């Protein structure tokens, strides 16, 4: 009986967090395709729509990874704990949510890129994967700041992350062509080393954020 209740609780946890991830995917598709159509009303060809959707889908998709790690955690973590989920299960539930969202969002971005350019660019795709890990980790650190310092910690964390993201986007847009040209001049071995470092640093940052999140959730006060 106890084992059945345990399985039921875990299943309920998985379904709950999985549903949140799918909701975010729906929003990503809506924004990406919506921008693709909106900015190409004079030329509604599949290529142009996918090209625009790819660009905005990449930016929005990565930012959603950050938003999801903060908003859904803040809104639903206390709820699932108050309804019987253990803290460990709840944290792993959020990681499942992150995995489902980031995995599906990444596939969508890859497909849009393929439809818009007719090819896949490995270094861009790997950099995007690293960005998903990095932004999710930053979002989790913001959630930790909220747990430890309340709304002031959350606001400070979000403001800092948004500032860094905006500066990064501006630099990326302004120097996109130069970055692509520079990357094409690098040898395969140098590019491999750089991309490996990007993924390793992003994965390490995400791992540290998860460890700190586990520690902080132990002190999370849940109001019934």
pLDDT tens track for 192-205:
788 888 889 999 99
Give the Å distances, CA to CA, from 192 to 113, 127, 195: 21, 11, 5
Name 33's Cβ contacts closer than 8 Å, sequence gap at least 6.
Answer: 49, 53
Statement: residue 4 has pLDDT above 80 = no
pLDDT of residue 172: 62
- Of 79, 104, 109, the closest CA to residue 93 belongs to 79
Residue 184's pLDDT band (cuts 50, 70, 90): low
- Sign, CA dihedral 224-74-208-203, equals positive
Statement: residue 224 has pLDDT above 50 = no
Statement: residue 88 has pLDDT above 80 = yes
pLDDT of residue 116: 82
- Give yes or no for a contact between 208 and 137, defined as CB atoms under 8 angstroms apart: yes
Statement: residue 103 has pLDDT above 90 = yes
pLDDT tens, 13-29?
778 888 889 999 999 99
Distance CA 62, CA 132 (A): 5
Distance CA 89, CA 127 (A): 30
First to last CA, the chain: 27
What's the pTM?
0.83
Average pLDDT of span 39-59: 86
**Sequential DSSP letters for 58-92:** HHHHHHHHHHHHHHHHHHHHHHHHHTT--HHHHHH
Distance CA 109, CA 106 (A): 5
- Give yes or no for a contact between 115 and 109, defined as CB atoms under 8 angstroms apart: no
Number of neighbouring beta carbons within 10 Å of residue 112: 24
Mean pLDDT of the chain: 82
Statement: residue 3 has pLDDT above 80 = no
Average pLDDT of span 145-170: 74
């Amino acid at each position: 009986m106890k084992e059945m209740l345990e399985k039921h609780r875990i299943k309920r946890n998985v379904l709950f967090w999985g549903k949140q991830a799918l909701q975010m995917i729906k929003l990503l598709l809506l924004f990406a395709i919506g921008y693709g159509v909106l900015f190409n009303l004079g030329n509604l060809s599949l290529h142009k729509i996918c090209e625009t959707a790819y660009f905005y889908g990449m930016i929005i998709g990565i930012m959603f990874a950050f938003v999801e790690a903060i908003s859904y955690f803040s809104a639903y973590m206390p709820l699932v704990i108050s309804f019987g989920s253990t803290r460990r299960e709840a944290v792993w539930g959020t990681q499942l949510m992150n995995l489902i969202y980031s995995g599906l969002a990444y596939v969508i971005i890859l497909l849009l890129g393929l439809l818009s350019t007719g090819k896949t660019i490995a270094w861009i795709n790997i950099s995007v994967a690293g960005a998903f890990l990095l932004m999710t980790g930053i979002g989790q650190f913001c959630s930790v700041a909220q747990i430890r310092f309340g709304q002031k910690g959350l606001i400070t964390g979000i403001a800092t992350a948004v500032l860094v993201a905006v500066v990064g986007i501006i630099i990326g847009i302004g120097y996109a062509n130069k970055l692509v040209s520079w990357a094409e001049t690098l040898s395969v071995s140098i590019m491999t080393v750089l991309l490996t470092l990007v993924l390793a640093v992003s994965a390490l940052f995400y791992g540290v954020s998860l460890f700190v999140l586990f520690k902080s959730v132990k002190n999370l006060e849940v109001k019934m």
